[in-house]
């Protein structure tokens, strides 16, 4: 679960921890993560149900041995290269978040996907292929083992091992400073927003 600064509000995300789920494979695109046919819904409420919908089912529409079926309840996803490529749909990270994912460790992410993760308060750390593979195998061997992502120190700890990871500077700042939720930030500064609107010569009262 996300950890917060005790002297700050809940938007300050300094650390996330929990059990892991390995999602191996390069170039896993947003249509695999959230098939396009489910985007017709007008809210994100049911997106968790549709996460990797096709990949998680066999030809008889029964749940198979996909990692998300085997590691139900995990909240740290460990992925490979170019995760979240393809369409820029926000539905993909929304589905991951609503399924329960609080943080991600991977080799790389599509730029817009990573930015969407930042906007949802999901740290997306990166590291090399060997480290990702080792963490994925560690999860397979230790399904109940805890993984911690330290957003401030840019480290990941699993078992007795701590490794350095990279977190994009803008993402790290937004999470640690608690400014990742732009909607909440706007509402908390509504008086300034209203004053700015009032000062615009082309805005009606």
Average of per-residue pLDDT values in the chain: 88
What is the rounded CA–CA span in Å between residue 84 and residue 80?
10
DSSP string of 123-180, one letter each residue: -EEE--HHHHHHHHHHHHH-TT-EEEEETTTTEEEETTEEEE-B--HHHHHHHHHT--
pLDDT at 88: 86
For residue 116, give the nearest of 137, 149, 87, 94 by alpha carbon: 94
CA 198 and chain centroid, separation = 37
pLDDT at 180: 80
Domains and CATH numbers, the chain: 2-180 (3.20.19.10)
Share of the chain above pLDDT 70, in %: 83
pLDDT digits (tens, 9 = 90+) for 141-175: 999 999 999 999 999 999 999 999 999 999 999 99
The H or E element spanning position 48 is helix 47-50
pLDDT band at 89 (very low <50, low <70, confident <90, very high): confident
29-43 mean pLDDT: 92
Helices and strands (DSSP H and E) totals, the chain: 9, 8
The yes-or-no verdict on residue 203 having pLDDT over 90 is no
């Amino acid at each position: 679960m996300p950890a917060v600064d005790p002297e700050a509000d809940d938007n300050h995300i300094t650390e996330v921890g929990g059990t892991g789920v390995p999602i191996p494979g390069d170039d896993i695109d947003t249509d695999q993560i959230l098939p396009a046919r489910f985007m017709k819904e007008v809210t994100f409420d049911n997106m968790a149900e549709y996460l990797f919908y096709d990949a998680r089912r066999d030809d008889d529409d029964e749940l198979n041995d996909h990692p998300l079926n085997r590691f139900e309840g995990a909240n740290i996803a460990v992925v490979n290269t170019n995760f979240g490529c393809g369409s820029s749909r926000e539905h993909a990270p929304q589905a991951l978040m609503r399924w329960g994912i609080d943080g991600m460790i991977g080799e790389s992410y599509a730029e817009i996907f990573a930015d969407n993760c930042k906007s949802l308060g999901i740290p997306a750390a990166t590291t090399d292929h060997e480290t990702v593979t080792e963490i994925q195998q560690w999860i397979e061997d230790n399904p109940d083992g805890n993984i911690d992502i330290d957003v401030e120190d840019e480290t990941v700890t699993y078992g007795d091992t701590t490794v350095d990871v990279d977190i994009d500077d803008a993402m790290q700042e937004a999470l640690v400073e608690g400014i990742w939720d732009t909607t909440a930030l706007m509402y908390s500064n509504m008086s300034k927003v209203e004053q700015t609107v009032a000062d615009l010569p082309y805005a009606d009262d």
